[in-house]
Amino acid sequence: MSEGTGLLRRFYEEVLAGGNLALIDEFVLDDMKDHEDPMPGQPQGKEGVKFYINAIRTAFPDLTVTLDPALADGDLEASRAVLSGTHKGEFMGIPASGKSVQFSSTDIIRIQDGMVAEHWGSSDTMSLMQQIGAVGAQPTGASVG
């Protein structure tokens, strides 16, 4: 088992929370393959990463990230993150609500030549959309189907 490069942690801390978007060019291959469903209008590859980070940072400019745990095995790194911030800008067509949010995300990356070559991930988008008032809360005990 490898100790990993810490690239995922650096990405979360320096790019997503820290706002250093220039690091995307250092961290992500041009043709990076993202296996997660894109946001509306999000392109593939490195440009898609820039699109996503810009959308999140515009909507939640005070974003903070807590990582726990972070794991590495060979050329793979994985982490669960809890993201917190204030909805101060438009997000996916939803105007700023001023509400504080907290939601989780789990990400796995494959590293090639010291850069992100592939990404798999899952974010709790439903919880986020409920917190900003875009969708109603699911009634307790209700079934979906």
Domain count, the chain: 1
Predicted TM-score (pTM) of the model is 0.85
Assigned domain for 143 exists: no
Encoded tokens for 3: 């100790």
- Better-scored residue on pLDDT, 62 or 36: 62
CATH of the domain at 112: 3.10.450.50
Q: How far apart are CA 87 and CA 1, in angstroms?
A: 39
pLDDT above 70 for 137: no
- pLDDT category at 143 given cuts 50, 70, 90 is low
Q: What is the pLDDT of residues 66-112, one digit of tens each?
A: 998 889 999 999 999 999 999 999 999 999 999 999 999 999 999 99
* Strand pairing category for 100-112 and 115-123: antiparallel
Give pLDDT tens digits for 38-53.
Answer: 888 999 999 999 999 9
Print the domain residue range for 117: 7-131
Residue 39 included in any domain: yes
